[in-house]
Amino acid sequence: MTEIASSRPITGRCYCGTTRFRASEAPTTVSYCHCGDCRRVTGAPVAAFASFREEAISFSPNEGRTVSANPGVTRSFCETCGSPLTGRYDYLPGKVYVALGLIDQAGDFPPELHSHHDNCLSWLHIEDGLERHSGSARSRLKE
């Protein structure tokens, strides 16, 4: 994390700007996720998320509409444009995962690891030297 990023609020918004958020501190973790669920929710070949402590992030006017298509996972979406906003996972309590592309300062928060790397699309090659976890990396993400 850069010094600038740690000294100012982290901000972001959905595609249409209706839903905005502010975090009072830098993300605890930034991760790529290659699982099919995250690919579907983002529409991208790989997703990237920043994890924030629940107490450190707020949404305006609210966190949007929630959907729980899989047990233990709740996602939220902008009520106006449908942008995916957050993911909350029962096995990672107290954390809110925000799509990295929504964060105004995304350039300050490069991913630190790959989750579900065994599900990576065969034609996608990210040569970054980051640690790769075959599954959810939940033990690493709980740190």
Following DSSP, what letter does each residue of 35-104 receive, concatenated?
-HHHHHHHTSSSEEEEEEEGGGEEEES-S-EEEEEETTEEEEE-TTT--EEEEEETTSTTEEEEEGGGBT
Sheet strand arrangement including 84-89: 65-70, 73-77, 84-89, 95-99, 47-53, 29-33, 113-115, 131-132
Domains of the chain as residue ranges with CATH:
3-141 (3.90.1590.10)
Predicted TM-score (pTM) of this structure: 0.87
Q: Give residue 76's pLDDT.
A: 97
Mean pLDDT, residues 131-136:
85
CA distance 98 to 120: 20
Model confidence over 77-121: pLDDT tens digits? 999 999 999 999 999 999 999 999 999 999 999 999 999 999 999
Is 80 exceeded by the pLDDT of residue 138? no
What lies within 8 Å, CB to CB, of 128 at 6+ separation is: 111
- Of the pLDDT bands very low, low, confident and very high (cuts 50, 70, 90), residue 137 is low
Task: Please give the mean pLDDT across all residues of the chain.
Answer: 91
Q: Compute the radius of gyration of the chain from its Cα atoms.
A: 14
Dihedral sign of CA atoms 66, 69, 70, 75 in order: negative
Count other C-beta atoms under 10 Å from residue 85's C-beta.
26
Check residue 125 and give its pLDDT. Answer: 94
* pLDDT given for residue 136 in this prediction: 74
Provide the CB-side half-sphere exposure for 32 (13 A, CA).
26
